[in-house]
Structure 1
Amino acid sequence: MGELGTINAPTSGRDKRQELFLQLLADSYADIEAYIRTLIFDRVDAEDVLQDVCVRLWKNFDEFEFGRSFRRWAFGVTYNVARQYWRNRKRSTGQALSEEALAKLSKVHQATVEIAEMRQDMLRECIERLPEADKSLVRKVYYRSNTVAEVARETGKRANSISMKLNRIRNKLSDCIERKMT
C-alpha cells in the first residue's frame, strides 16, 4: 500500500510503453500540428487529420525505432496521412493538391523547422556566453516566467532598470545570432 491507503499498481511494460508514447507525442504535438496545417488548408479538416495521425502513430508505435527522432518519424506518418487525405478529397470533390505540390510544401516546412532549430541552438550558445548576472536574469524572466516586477522586487532594483537591462541583453543576443549566421 502506498501513502494514504492507496494501492500502488504495478507498472507493466505496456503501461511504460504507453507512457513513453504519450510523452514523445506531447513533446512533438505542436510541431506535428504545425506540419499538418502546412499540408491541409481547411482548419476543420486539419483537426481531423491530426486526430487520425495521433491514432496511426499509436497503432504503429511498435515500428518506431528507438534512438531515431520521434518527430521525424511522426512527420513521415503525417505526410502519408496527408497524401491519403488529398487522394480522398480528389475522389469526393474533384479537388486535390498534387503529389509534387504536397512534397514541395513538406520540404519548405521542414526547411523552416531546421532554420528555427538552428536559431534556437545559436540562442542557447549565445546565452551561455553572457556574463553570469545576465544569464541569471534571462533564466528568471524567460525560463521561470517571472515578471519584470517580480524580478525587481526580488533583486531590490527598479522594474524600469530591469526592463532596460533585458532590452540590452536581447540586443546582445540578437547581434550574437546574426554574427553566427553570417
Structure 2
Amino acid sequence: MNRSADSLDYEPLTDEHLIALYCEGDREAFAALLKRYRQELFAFLYRFLGSRAAAEDVFQDTFLQIHLRAERFETDRQLKPWLFTIAANKARDYLRRNKRHNNVSLDAPTPASPGSGGSGSGATFVDLMQAQTVQPDESLSDQEKRDMVRQVIDNLPQHQREVLVLAYFHQLAYKDMAEALDVPLGTVKSRLHAAVANFAKQWKQTFASTYES
C-alpha cells in the first residue's frame, strides 16, 4: 500500500503509527520517520562517536536495522527508546571494530536535570562538570577549559561516558536510558552518579596545579 506524499499528513502522526504504516507498505511513512529523527539521532551519534563520518555510517546502519526489524516492533511500546537502543548498540559495535574511544562534544546545552526531558538550562557540559569540582584558574581560556574537560571525559570508562551522553546531551529519561543501554533502572542511576563523581575525582587529580590557591 503506497501513498503519495500529498495524500497523508505525516507530521501529526506518532512514531508508532508511522512504523505501523510502513509495515503495511507505506514507504513515505518510513521516510517521514527518518526525517523526524535525522537531526536528533545524528547529533546523539556524533556526540557518542566524536566523528561526523562515523556518525553518518552508524546512522544509516541504524535505520537499515529499523527497516529489517520493523515488523517485529510492538506498536504498544514507544519507538524512540527502541531506536536509541539500536543506535547505541551500533555505535558500540563501531567503536569495538575501530578500537577507538568516543570524543564527546562538550559545548551542547544541558537540561535542567538529567533525564528530565525539560527545557535546557543553557549551561554546557563544561559548566555542569566544573560546577561539580574546584574551579580552575580564571586566567585559563574557555578553549583550555574545554580541552581539560575533554581529556578527563575520554579517560572515563565507556559505560560512564555512555550514560553521560544519554543523560546530559540527549535528555533521555532514566527508563529510556535503561532500555537503550539494556540495563536495570537502578544501574543507570548508579552509573550516572558514579560518572559525575569519577569525573570530579579525575579532574582534581589531573589538573590540581591549575587551581587557585
Q: TM-score, normalised by structure 2?
A: 0.40
User: Considering only CA atoms, is the larger Rg found in Structure 1 or Structure 2?
Assistant: 1
Give the TM-score normalised by the residue count of structure 1: 0.46
Structure ranking higher on relative contact order (CA contacts 8 Å, 6+ apart): 2
Structure with greater helix share of residues: 1
